Amino acid sequence: MVTRVLHGSGDVPVARLFDALLPHACGLFFALIMCASDVAFAHGEQGAAVPQRATEPHSPEAAPSSTALETPAQDARENDLAWEAHVRRSQAALTLEPVYYGEVFSNTRGGITTRDATQYQALLNLAVTLDAESLPWRLPGRFYLLGQNTHGRGLTQDFVGDAQVLSNIDAFDNVTRVGEYWWDVGLFGDTVTVRLGKQDLNTELLCIDLAADFIQSTFGLSPSTAFSTYPNQSMAALCLIQVADGWQLKTGVWSAFASPGGWGFSETGSILAIGELERIYVAFDARLPGSIACGAIYESPGEIAGLPISAVQEYYIQAEQWLTREAGCSDQELQGLAMFTGFYPRFPGQFKTEHAPGDSFVAGAIYTGLVPSRERDVIGLGVAWTELYGGGTGEETAWELFYKLHATQRCRVQPDLQYIITPSGIERNSLVVGLRFEVAF
């Protein structure tokens, strides 16, 4: 996205030194996480080890129990079981989820240049979730923290010049930061969920689940404005309301144009307000699920890297639908053909600048389990289009084809091909080929 590119910051000598050392430190940290996760996985296979608790000796002077059949040994055993249950609850309260995304992409033709246009970049996510209600003192809700490290270099800025951003892990800089930290709580029997803190708008809103495996950024988010999303999440208050069976209302207010790498607070006073109504259903004899979502967005005027950004008012419509379902698959791991689409137009009559794209559109199809004996593999084909105001053709179209191979339980490999027509409306048509791998621990 054009507006995402503007979030990049300039280098300083200390930053250059930090960037030089960062990949080595990240590699060491990655290896430590891998070892720790393997140990945890082994314990999970055999049953978590529970610390032993010393039991107090039974006192003959103690008051008799309410049941004559109880013995000191039984009392001690019950104490042990209670302590073990307490420890297990405490262990279950805290979850650690490291995921590493690495990719190599090459601009083989067109764009800005093909010289030295093969680059590696990666993202390490370390998510920590604390279920406060599982703790002994029973605090309400849960706490979430997401640490993020990016290293390497993407192709968008210097090699392709596309406005929509061909990789959704491209942060345009090497950073180590706390991407999110928030607390949420369920109210009225979890009919209402309130979430407060630094968070990614795209986690709950403007989200197409069937498009999650595409690498091109626009399949995950409209490029029409500088949303408070990766790599610049910001402070927000979000409310999710289950208004009826299959109907959910989502509304939130974000601090817009927050400083990159900060704690999520904006110095401009700008806000982003959004509301979405989502309908989830199951059609065709309760076999094929689908969803429809519609929403509206208002973002007040602001500034990014010294460039003015006009106010944004837009609405959107998203739809997802499974079309076929293979026999024998479960509701949790569907196999078959599915399609999705999303339309993100601006309200008519708005002031337009060359730094802010206009209307945008995505559509695509995926097939899960197409190859026999490869039930979890996914193949996808999609197109993403956006309107531009920087001259040239005034538009950009990106086609993407991928095959996501579930190599093991923890590792996925994804060859990817993208053909980008008139990047930013002014560059030559670009053909990008690459490979992404994902390791979850």
- What was the pLDDT predicted at 355? 64
Q: What is the pLDDT of residue 13?
A: 39
The pTM (predicted TM-score) of the whole model is: 0.78
Do residues 222 and 360 touch, judged by C-beta distance below 8 A? Answer: yes
In the prediction, which pLDDT does 286 show?
Answer: 79
Going residue by residue through the chain (441 aa), what tens digit of pLDDT does each one get? 433 433 333 333 333 433 444 444 444 444 444 434 443 333 333 333 333 333 333 333 333 344 344 455 566 666 656 555 555 555 568 999 999 999 999 999 999 999 999 999 999 999 999 998 888 777 899 999 999 999 999 999 999 999 999 999 999 989 899 999 999 999 998 899 999 999 999 999 999 999 999 999 999 876 655 678 888 899 999 999 999 999 999 999 999 888 776 778 877 788 999 999 999 999 988 789 999 999 999 988 877 667 777 788 889 999 999 999 998 888 888 999 999 999 999 887 666 666 678 889 999 999 999 998 899 999 999 999 999 988 899 999 999 999 999 999 999 999 999 999 999 999 999 999 999 999 998
Whose CA is closest to 440, among 417, 409, 403, 400? 409
CB 365 within 8 A of CB 396: no
Residue 331 has a CB neighbour count (10 Å cut-off) of 10
Position of tokens 């990240």? 26
- Give the pLDDT score at 330: 87
Q: How many residues does the chain have?
A: 441
Confidence at residue 14, expressed as pLDDT on a 0 to 100 scale? 36
Give the pLDDT confidence score for residue 21 in this predicted structure. 43
Query: What is the model's pLDDT at position 23?
Result: 45
**Which residues are paired to 201 by β-bridges?**
none
Largest CA distance in the chain: 93
Cite the DSSP H helix spans in 59-137.
Answer: 72-93
What confidence score (pLDDT) does residue 25 get? 45
What pLDDT, on the 0 to 100 scale, is given for residue 397? 97
Q: What pLDDT is recorded for position 8?
A: 36
